[in-house]
Amino acid sequence: MSKTPVLVVGGRTTGLMMASELARRGVPVRIIDKSPGIDPHVRANLLHSRTLEIFQGLGLVERITEGAIAETSVRLYANGRLVGAQRHAPIDSPFPFGMTQSQARTEAVLEDHLNRHGVNVERNVGLVALSQDENRTIATLQHAGGRQEIVETPWLVGCDGAHSPTRYLTRCAFPGDRDPYPYLLADVLIDGELEQNESYLFLHDDGDLFIFAMLPEHRRLVCAQAPAGALASGPPTLALMQTLVNRRGLPGLRLSDPHWLASFRIHYRLAPHYRQQRIFLAGDAAHIHSLLAGQGMNTGIQDAFNLAWKLALVLRGVAPAWWLDTYEGERRKVGEEVVAMTRTLTESVELFAGLSAAERERLVAHMVVPAPDRLEAARHLQEVDLDYRSSPLSFERAGEFNGGPHAGAQAPDAAPIVVNGERQSQYRLLGGVNHHLLLFDGPASGRRAVALEAASREVHERCGHWVDVCVVATDEHSIPPRSGITVIGDPERALRARYRAESPCLYLIRPDGYIAYRSRRWDDLGGYLDRVLGTTPRLE
């Protein structure tokens, strides 16, 4: 592995996740940020279930969610009249609902996590020039006081936000549109009759108003379409926000203690490419959209989580360079869908004032999700339904399985399992840096035991430095311990049920928690490895 650090530009959630995941895998890394420190203002306040699952695997979820509040429902009003109230369906996850938390808290925990891996964010440092060739990237950094530094790096990841210098310096287009309506934002205390776990959406003839679920310390975000002719170049006043809440929201709500007041415009933009040779874009540098549904920060964290392990394996010489192309192939589709979904939601809200009475009824009816569809909607909102089945890293033979998670799907959690005598969940097990190979045993027999031992030994010898081999047995003591092999006890057959592993089979799970390969044959993994470790992807 090269000793020259990978350069991560941008020290907010996406960049912190990127740098810490590289450092956790032993990759030398530098991370720079032009700001002097963590921004105390709350821009992104919702952590989705999939992001919380990731933090659980990293051992960070308890610290990040300290004081956080589950967002369980939403209420919809039209000109002051309650027209819909619905509870989000709890999804099949250790975190059945998203949780509201200050972005500053999330960033503080991530930065501490990064520091524990021996890396500090270099503050007041910006990227001002950039070039690359087939072997390296050359970046010019400007420090506080004007001093410039020229650095060479094998790879550079731009996590530097909507106004990304990385994107600008690579001349990467950022096509899209600007929403015609200006918006106002307030981080305030609200005294009045609001449920802490609920978000509120107010449709009104004068424009829309959102009050998001409570944050720690009893704060809330209020987001309002600016009234006609009221937009100033600076932030709104607390008095203006109070007037908008009085007119469009519920009676008796009193705003106080403004921590932050701001005005902004919504843009819908998506970079045509997430990779240019040795330079990558992630998070807001690659995609920006409406803040409704709270997708931005979560999507950026998951961009970084997808890219970091691939880049680490390429740098270690384990994986061929084409694996890095799968980052764009997998994540740009997600970005495209998020931009489209948030735009549809936002523009639907903005249409209200200009609609007839009948059109308003149809709009409201469309916005209230019917009970039978709420689980599917919740899974999509919480980002647990992502599917990479079209990726060249995903493969299975047709017809081998009758149900169970397919190649490209997220690996499901299961509990209880027993590892080294400790009862835990599978997500805790999958939190390491390696792939995990699950070998499910079948009916006990001498022949079967010999085959299982041979398969596990072969995988360990061939790729034990990047694949953790796990043998799943009903009784963890039924299989003798062996070096390099983890025996997973599945006493209640919870793991077997989730994977439809009634008969012998294997599942190879990627470090980001998605299934790369599955087969009914223990000795079949070699063929998959030959497919994906070649210099070019093999597609069928």
Residue 232 predicted with pLDDT over 60: no
Whole-number Å distance between alpha carbons of 94 and 92: 7
- In this predicted structure, the answer to whether residue 1 has a pLDDT above a threshold of 80 is no
Domain 417-532, what fold? Answer: Glutaredoxin (3.40.30)
Which is it for strands 99-100 and 121-123: parallel, antiparallel or unpaired?
unpaired
Q: Give 29-60 pLDDT, tens digit per residue.
A: 999 999 999 988 877 889 999 999 999 999 99
Facing residues of 306 across strands?
none
Q: pLDDT, tens digit, for every residue of 422-437? A: 888 888 888 889 999 9
**In the chain, % of residues over pLDDT 90:** 72
Q: What is the pLDDT of residue 95?
A: 95
Q: Report the distance separating Cα 340 and Cα 299, nearest Å.
A: 14
Specify the pLDDT at position 428: 83
* Per-residue model confidence (pLDDT) at position 458: 80
pLDDT at 175 over 60: yes
The pLDDT assigned to 205 comes to 93
Q: Where in the chain is the domain with CATH 3.30.9.10?
A: 177-267
Two structure tokens written together for 412: 């499901």
Report how many helices (DSSP H) and strands (DSSP E) the chain contains, helices first. Answer: 14, 27
User: In the chain, which residues fall in CATH 3.40.30.10?
Assistant: 417-532
- H or E element in which residue 261 lies: strand 254-270
Question: pLDDT value at position 448?
Answer: 65
Topology annotation, domain 1-45+102-173+271-331: FAD/NAD(P)-binding domain (3.50.50)
Other beta carbons within 10 Å of 425: 17
* Residues contacting residue 441 through CB under 8 Å, at least 6 positions apart: 448, 452, 471, 472, 473, 479, 504
pLDDT in tens, 66-118: 999 999 999 999 999 999 988 999 999 999 999 999 999 999 999 999 999 99
pLDDT band, residue 455 (cuts 50/70/90): confident
Question: What is the enclosing helix (H) or strand (E) of 436?
Answer: strand 435-440
| Tokens found for residue 35 | 């700001």
* Main-chain dihedrals φ then ψ at residue 485, nearest 5 degrees: -120, 130
d(C-alpha 467, C-alpha 436), whole Å: 6
Quote the pLDDT of residue 447.
64
Indicate if the pLDDT at residue 492 is higher than 70.
yes
Q: pTM of this prediction?
A: 0.95
Question: Which segment of 15-24, 96-105, 335-344, 479-488 scores lowest on mean pLDDT?
Answer: 479-488
Structure confidence at residue 161 (pLDDT): 95
- Is the pLDDT at 230 greater than 80? The verdict is no
Local confidence band at 5 (pLDDT 50, 70, 90 cut-offs): very high
For residues 450 and 392, the model is more confident at 392
Q: Where in the chain is the domain with CATH 3.50.50.60?
A: 1-45+102-173+271-331
pLDDT of 502 reads 85
Question: Among 279-293, 306-320, 519-533, where is mean pLDDT lowest?
Answer: 519-533
pLDDT at 360 over 80: yes
Q: How far apart are CA 77 and CA 496, in angstroms?
A: 46
Among the residue ranges 199-208, 298-307, 460-469, 511-520, the one predicted with the least confidence is 460-469
Q: Mean of the pLDDT values across residues 299-316?
A: 97
pLDDT at 449: 65
pLDDT band per the 50, 70, 90 thresholds, residue 368: confident
Choose between 229 and 390: higher pLDDT: 390
325-339, 399-413, 449-463: the lowest-pLDDT one: 449-463
- At residue 231 the predicted structure's pLDDT band, cuts being 50, 70 and 90, is low
What mean pLDDT is predicted for residues 360-389?
Answer: 89
Q: How far apart (Å, rounded) are the C-alpha atoms in residues 440 and 427?
A: 17
What percentage of the chain has pLDDT greater than the value 70?
A: 96
Instruction: Please report the pLDDT score of residue 475 as a whole number.
Output: 79
At the second CATH level, the architecture of 177-267 is 2-Layer Sandwich (3.30)
> pLDDT tens across 434-450, in order?
999 999 875 554 566 67
Model pLDDT, residue 540 = 56
